[in-house]
């Protein structure tokens, strides 16, 4: 196998889009994934059929398969670490598994890099959840959304860490390990604290990937439940913008080593759940039925990434508007409706 960019979780939503971006920029990729995510096999098949020469696959569990991880690291020039347990709800139901994958898995990867000869750089997909419930931020409420009263530009990297939920703890612990391996061992590592990412090849489910889930549910006629009052606000980032940033960072990873960046759509690209439903109704030209249930643990009322640090250090900023990005997602769901219907049928058989 020739040397390549390595992507753990490369068959997931962000991973598949990133692999395509890398291949189109003439970088072959090696994927490390256990295919545990629903839809991952479909994503992998799509990638391998489209780019048979440039995509290599190692099937393995990051929490357990250390020898395979070693092989993966040996073939990687820079590694994007995306594999993970990704849902807060699942972390509450099975915190041990969440810990094993997110903390132990990340630790295994860092150790494999530390003990390798060429020590590839590492870019880690962390999350805004490391800032916890943000109780120190003043929040007001209007008819459709929560608002940040004193910090309209959003949350900076100086916000104190305050892990909430097992998912917040496991991602936060991994985030700090990745940072520290730059300090303690001189590895080239970068942490991206991502907010809500959305786009094609996202098999969103009720537990995770809410924006894609709303689109899939609306198109395939499945019931939507809003947990809480629906005024929760997120700054949403279209996948193409995120992969652009990943590539720019990877090409100059030494310049950004040890850095942590908040990454999302920023103040220009915020939307509440209620506003999103209304926008979807407009685009699809039909009423979307939905119900309400109690708010979920660890669900921040509002999160907006302050992206000034990443913009000033890299020159990157989001290019896609919410309307443009969502239209791209809708188009993919409509073109692939059979994938979701197949999945629904399998679940109910
Ligand atoms: N999508 C978002 O909005 C968002 C926001 C913040 C952070 N993140 C982080 O970004 C990363 C990628 O997210 P995504 O939305 O693409 O998720 P995803 O679930 O689509 O992709 C994760 C991939 O990891 C794989 N995986 C899971 N457990 C594994 C294990 N033990 N060993 C090997 N592979 C394993 C899955 O099969 C899947 O292909 C995750 O780490 C997530 O925490 C995502």
For residues 32-37, give the mean pLDDT.
97
User: Which residues form the catalytic set?
Assistant: 167
Residue nearest to atom 2 of ligand 1 (CA): 197
pLDDT of amino acid 343: 65
Is the shortest distance between the CB of 37 and ligand 1 below 6 Å? yes
Residue nearest to atom 26 of ligand 1 (CA): 83
Is the shortest distance between the CB of 212 and ligand 1 below 6 Å? no
Give pTM, 2 decimals: 0.96
Phi and psi, residue 223, nearest 5°: -70, 140
- Whether the predicted pLDDT of 146 surpasses 80: yes
Instruction: For residue 285, report the distance from its CA to the centre of ligand 1, in Å.
Output: 32
pLDDT of amino acid 77: 94
Mean of per-residue pLDDT scores for the chain: 95
Partners of residue 238 on adjacent β-strands: 198
- For 124-193, the DSSP string reads EEEEGGGGTT-TTS-EEE-SS-EEESS-TT-B-TTSPP---HHHHHHHHHHHHHHHHHHHHH---EEEEE
Q: Six-digit token pair at 68?
A: 């395979």
Given the structure tokens 């490390």, which residue do they identify?
A: 32
Q: What's the pLDDT tens digit per position in 98-143?
A: 999 999 999 999 999 999 999 999 999 999 999 999 999 999 999 9
Residue 243 — very low, low, confident or very high, per pLDDT cuts 50/70/90?
very high
| Torsional sign, CA 273, 276, 282, 285 | negative
Q: Which residues contact 249 (CB under 8 A, 6 or more apart)?
A: 123, 190, 192, 256, 314
pLDDT of amino acid 283: 92
Is the shortest distance between the CB of 336 and ligand 1 below 6 Å? no
For residues 165-191, give the mean pLDDT.
98
For residues 35-62, give the mean pLDDT.
97
pLDDT cut 70: percent of the chain above it: 97
For residues 73-92, give the mean pLDDT.
97
Q: Among 125, 128, 195, 325, which is best to mutate for testing ligand 1, by the most ligand atoms less than 8 A from CB?
A: 125
Residue 339 — very low, low, confident or very high, per pLDDT cuts 50/70/90?
confident
Q: Six-digit token pair at 336?
A: 């692939």
Q: Which helix (DSSP H) or strand (DSSP E) does residue 5 occupy?
A: strand 4-8
pLDDT of amino acid 305: 98
Domains and CATH numbers, the chain: 4-348 (3.40.50.720)
- Whether the predicted pLDDT of 340 surpasses 90: no
Q: What's the pLDDT tens digit per position in 292-318?
A: 999 998 789 999 999 999 999 999 999
**Ramachandran category for residue 189: left, alpha or beta (phi over 0 → left; psi -120 to 50 → alpha):** beta
- Whether the predicted pLDDT of 2 surpasses 70: no
pLDDT of amino acid 349: 58
pLDDT of amino acid 348: 60
- Whether the predicted pLDDT of 342 surpasses 90: no
- Whether the predicted pLDDT of 229 surpasses 90: yes
Q: Among 35, 66, 82, 124, which is best to mutate for testing ligand 1, by the most ligand atoms less than 8 A from CB?
A: 82
Is the shortest distance between the CB of 98 and ligand 1 below 6 Å? no
Is the shortest distance between the CB of 84 and ligand 1 below 6 Å? yes
pLDDT of amino acid 346: 59
């Amino acid at each position: 196998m020739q040397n390549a960019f390595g992507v753990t979780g490369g068959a997931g939503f962000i991973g598949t889009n990133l692999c395509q971006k890398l291949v189109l920029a003439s970088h072959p990729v090696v994927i490390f994934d256990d295919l545990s995510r629903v839809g991952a096999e479909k994503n992998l098949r799509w990638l391998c059929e489209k780019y048979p020469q440039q995509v290599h696959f190692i099937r393995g569990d990051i929490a357990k398969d250390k020898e395979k991880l070693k092989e993966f690291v040996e073939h990687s020039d820079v590694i994007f670490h995306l594999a993970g347990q990704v849902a807060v709800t699942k972390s509450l139901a099975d915190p041990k598994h969440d810990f094993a994958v997110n903390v132990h898995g990340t630790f295994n990867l860092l150790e494999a890099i530390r003990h390798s000869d060429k020590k590839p750089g590492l870019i880690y997909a962390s999350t805004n959840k490391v800032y916890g419930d943000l109780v120190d931020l003043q929040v007001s409420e209007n008819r459709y959304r929560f608002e940040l009263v004193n910090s309209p530009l959003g949350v900076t990297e100086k916000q104190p860490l305050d892990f909430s939920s097992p998912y917040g703890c496991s991602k936060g612990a991994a985030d700090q390990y990745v940072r520290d391996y730059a300090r303690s061992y001189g590895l080239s590592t970068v942490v991206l604290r991502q907010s809500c990412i959305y786009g094609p090849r996202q098999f969103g489910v009720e537990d995770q990937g809410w924006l894609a889930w709303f689109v899939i549910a609306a198109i395939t006629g499945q019931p939507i439940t809003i947990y809480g009052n629906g005024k929760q606000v997120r700054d949403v980032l279209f996948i193409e913008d995120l992969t652009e940033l990943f590539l720019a960072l990877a090409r100059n990873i030494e310049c950004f080593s040890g850095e942590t960046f908040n990454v999302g759509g920023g103040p220009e690209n915020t939307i509440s759940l209620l506003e999103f439903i209304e926008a979807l109704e407009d685009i699809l030209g039909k009423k979307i039925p939905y119900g309400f249930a109690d708010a979920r643990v660890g669900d921040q009322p509002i999160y907006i990434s302050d992206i000034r640090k990443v913009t000033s250090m890299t020159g990157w900023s989001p290019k896609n508007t919410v309307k443009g990005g969502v239209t791209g997602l809708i188009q993919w769901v409509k073109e692939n409706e059979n994938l979701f219907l197949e999945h629904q049928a399998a679940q109910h058989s």
